[in-house]
Amino acid sequence: MADTCPRCGFAEVASDKCPQCGVVVTTYRASLDKLRRGPQPGGISPFARGPVSRPESASVPEAPTGAPAAAPSTPGWLSAPPPPATQAAAPSSGSRQASFRGSGATLFGVHIVNALLILATLGIYYFWAKVRVRAYLWSESEFEGDRFAYHGTGRELIIGFVKAFAFFLLPMTLLNTLPEIFEASALVIMATRLLVSILAGIFIPVAIVGARRYRLSRTSWRGIRFSLRTSTRPFVSLWVRGWLLTSFTMGLYYPAFVTNQHRFLTSNTWFGSERFAFDGRGRDLIPVWFASIILFFPTFGLSWFWFLAKRQRYYAEHTRVAGARFRSTVTAPKLAWLTISTWIGLLCTLGMAWPWLTVRKVRRTFAWLSLDGSLALDSITQQAQQVNATGEGLAGFFDADLGFT
């Protein structure tokens, strides 16, 4: 006996499959009955957060051709009430990436105004210019539909610079120049220069930690700030030990050295109440590091990009946050082209192309990096830390740049 298709209204359905729309009649009716009954106690609501599982060949119920529309009381995929507020939302799964919404033209405008104000103020505006660039880059960076925000100020940066100069850099400068001014003996000059080198070796890790701590504390997403929660002394010990071992092993320890630094900084980084985790080991990078050194001259230095790309992929794959793991798709050719073409563009345009090249770099970086797996964000709360910008001032002197700019 012929039946009527419950989806398209075709009246001559002789089998279980509608010849007009292709729907399986019994499966479609079963899904309609399930919708009419609504979520059962102990069952999984189709409206809970996360992917919705539907029967094969079933879709959103449509009214048959020429048939009256369903009554408003009939539940459907779009009209069903949301889950109760007391029910915990399931972590969202899948792969997600950040994106950059800004443009090189807009950044060029910021750059030109900054350059003019720096000249007009004899360089004093440099710190506020730095903040303007960072604020623009952060505000145009988007993840999961929300933008990042930068909360630093030029006043903080200039105060940090003054502190770094007064307490760190001025003593080093005096130690380096006074022995020669007073015509001290060669032994005294060598001793003071050695002391300056040792102090610089200590101040560099201090600058790295201080800059990282400051920038993270001034960065937020969805109103929740990042932070670095650790003291500086362990990182100084790690840095000095790694530098000595790298020197004594003629560079063989270098992969372990940089990986230990990355582990320390990443494992002590927090997003609100959520801590990042890193489980990589430097020894895993030794083979590719050793090969890149051997091939450095035969490849005119291009093998270095092979090591850098491998290191970026390795670091990403061993970094986790909120239940999800990072993943990088960068390759040596991509990284080499981005780096070399950026330098060529800067040289050929005398730096005028910097805004467009910066935007391109940020977009490529975001395109190569993703966060995969279930990401539990609902339980993260704000836990901001109080820090100053002294480390940022030191980082500027030692060129220990850790962010966009």
Work out the burial of residue 84: count CB atoms within 10 Å of its CB; fewer than 13 is exposed, 13-18 middle, 19 or more buried: exposed
Measured CA distances, 393 to 183, 215, 265, 318 (Å): 32, 12, 19, 31
Q: Is residue 6 part of a domain?
A: yes
Cα(145)–Cα(360) distance, integer angstroms: 20
Q: Is residue 11 part of a domain?
A: yes
Q: Is residue 329 part of a domain?
A: no
Q: Is residue 34 part of a domain?
A: yes
Portion of the chain with pLDDT greater than 70, in percent: 73
Measured CA distances, 135 to 104, 143, 344, 398 (Å): 15, 16, 27, 23
pLDDT at site 382: 79
Alpha-helix runs per DSSP H in 268-353: 286-294, 303-317, 332-348
Q: Is residue 30 part of a domain?
A: yes
Which pairs count as long-range contacts for 296-303, CB under 8 Å and 24+ apart, including other chains? 302/332, 302/336
Domain count, the chain: 1
Residues of the chain with pLDDT under 50: 1, 34-90, 397-404
Q: What is the arrangement of strands in the sheet containing 95-96, beginning at the earlier edge strand?
A: 95-96, 369-372, 324-328, 319-321, 277-278
Task: Enumerate residues 6+ apart whose C-beta is below 8 A from 48.
Answer: 83, 87, 89, 90
Residue with tokens 């990182």: 235
Q: Is residue 29 part of a domain?
A: yes
What is the SS3 assignment for 371? strand
Q: Which of 149, 110, 107, 127 minimizes the C-alpha distance to 362?
A: 107
pLDDT at site 399: 39
Q: Is residue 109 part of a domain?
A: no
Measured CA distances, 385 to 45, 213, 223, 263 (Å): 40, 9, 14, 21
Q: What angle do CA 154, 157, 159 make, to 5 degrees?
A: 110
Which pairs count as long-range contacts for 143-149, CB under 8 Å and 24+ apart, including other chains? 143/96, 143/97, 143/98, 143/99, 143/221, 144/96, 144/377, 146/221, 146/222, 147/101, 147/221, 148/219, 148/220, 148/221, 149/219, 149/220, 149/221
Beta carbons of 367 and 258 less than 8 angstroms apart: no
Q: Are strands 277-278 and 274-275 parallel, antiparallel or unpaired?
A: unpaired
Helix axes 354-368, 104-120, angle to 10 degrees: 130
Measured CA distances, 316 to 306, 325, 330 (Å): 16, 8, 10
Residues, the chain: 405
Residue with tokens 């962010």: 403
Structure-token pair, residue 172: 């080093």
Beta carbons of 137 and 111 less than 8 angstroms apart: no
Work out the burial of residue 16: count CB atoms within 10 Å of its CB; fewer than 13 is exposed, 13-18 middle, 19 or more buried: exposed
Q: Are strands 224-228 and 269-271 parallel, antiparallel or unpaired?
A: antiparallel
Cα(184)–Cα(174) distance, integer angstroms: 13
SS3 of 228-275: ECCCCHHHHHHHHHHHHHHHHCCCCCHHHHHHHHHHHHHHCEEECCEE
pLDDT at site 381: 82
Q: Is residue 173 part of a domain?
A: no
Q: What is the residue range of 1's domain? A: 1-40
